[in-house]
Amino acid sequence: MSVSEKKAVTAPVESASKGLPAKEAAPGVTAVQETGNVVTIEEVRRDPEVVAFIQQANASLFALGFTEHGQRHAGLVGHIAANVLERLDYPERTHQLAEIAGYLHDIGNCIHRQAHAQSSSLMAWRILSRLGMPPDECALIMNAIGNHEEERGTATTPVSAALIIADKADVHRSRVQNPTMAEFDIHDRVNYATTRSFVRVRPEEKVVALELEIDTNYAQVIEYFEIFLDRMTMVRQAITFLGCEFQLIINDTRFS
């Protein structure tokens, strides 16, 4: 990619806004250093360290009884995060950084579940700087990954907000790894009961809606709130940061 193309995909945030509140021009969104590479999601996905770290992270969490955190989760979160920012008309490079952040956000689970946001962030830094990503872009991705867990994370950039929304939206039957239904814990049951999960961005109304279909043969709607209340609070903060209203719609009933 030429230098001129690099500049073309890193236009200032303000220039892309269409009627939405002016977004903070977060450091790094407006300028890719000409000495740096435009690192792509394809490069990240095929990087041998990324492949190995995601594989080990999911294997470790599977052994501990957690839901799926492998390539499916990584890819889906990246895709949703990018899509949210695209629908809200952020610059193309901002979508791309959100997709990369989404793909790498859980790699630290291969070290330990505890503080995995911080370990994932530092691991991503090493990988992305090795691939030639400019420091300002690395900083945005490190910040987003380091803030994606509800215990201590807050959205302070569009990339971090999109990552939070995408990660917390991934509740779905396909994430359940426990093969024995009789041994399901509440997280398995709620995930298994969720047959559809969709983030719908309605830019003209400034609304980001999380739409879920929960099969109440497996879990009650109240159980979703029981285990995910902190997550929903975090998602609301992230959506508010993007200048939008959060709506939670479960089985065609609006809860917020």
Q: Which of 167, 189, 197, 210 binds Fe ion (CB under 5 A)?
A: 167
Is residue 150 within the footprint of Fe ion (CB under 5 A)?
A: no
In contact, 27 and 136? CB cutoff 8 Å: yes
Cα→Cα distances 154→157, 158, 234, Å: 9, 11, 7
State the nearest-atom distance from the C-beta of 75 to Fe ion, in Å: 11
Q: Of 141, 195, 140, nearest to 172 (Cα)?
A: 195
State the nearest-atom distance from the C-beta of 241 to Fe ion, in Å: 19
State the nearest-atom distance from the C-beta of 161 to Fe ion, in Å: 15
State the nearest-atom distance from the C-beta of 62 to Fe ion, in Å: 14
For 211-231, the DSSP string reads: EEEE-TTT--HHHHHHHHHHH
* Count of residues touching Fe ion (by CB under 5 A): 2
What is the Cα–Cα distance from 199 to 190, expressed in whole angstroms?
18
* Phi/psi at 9 (5° precision): -95, 5
Nearer Cβ to Fe ion, position 32 or 124? 124
**Which of these ranges, 5-13, 90-98, 104-112, 151-159, lies near Fe ion under the rule CB under 5 A?**
104-112
Nearer Cβ to Fe ion, position 39 or 171? 171
What is the Cα–Cα distance from 107 to 103, expressed in whole angstroms?
9
Nearer Cβ to Fe ion, position 34 or 151? 151
Q: Of 158, 137, 133, 161, nearest to 147 (Cα)?
A: 161
Is residue 106 within the footprint of Fe ion (CB under 5 A)?
A: yes
Q: State whether residue 23 is helix, strand or coil.
A: coil
State the nearest-atom distance from the C-beta of 150 to Fe ion, in Å: 9
**Which of these ranges, 7-15, 33-41, 164-172, 239-247, lies near Fe ion under the rule CB under 5 A?**
164-172
For 44, residues 6+ apart whose C-beta sits below 8 A from its C-beta are 50, 100, 103, 104, 127, 128, 131
Is residue 188 within the footprint of Fe ion (CB under 5 A)?
A: no
Nearer Cβ to Fe ion, position 137 or 167? 167
State the nearest-atom distance from the C-beta of 158 to Fe ion, in Å: 18
Nearer Cβ to Fe ion, position 29 or 145? 145
Nearer Cβ to Fe ion, position 23 or 231? 231
For 72, residues 6+ apart whose C-beta sits below 8 A from its C-beta are 174, 175
Sign of torsion over alpha carbons 73, 78, 79, 80: positive
Q: Of 16, 18, 29, nearest to 160 (Cα)?
A: 29
State the nearest-atom distance from the C-beta of 144 to Fe ion, in Å: 12
Nearer Cβ to Fe ion, position 96 or 119? 119
**Which of these ranges, 80-88, 102-110, 171-179, 220-228, lies near Fe ion under the rule CB under 5 A?**
102-110
Q: Which residues bind Fe ion (CB under 5 A)?
A: 106, 167
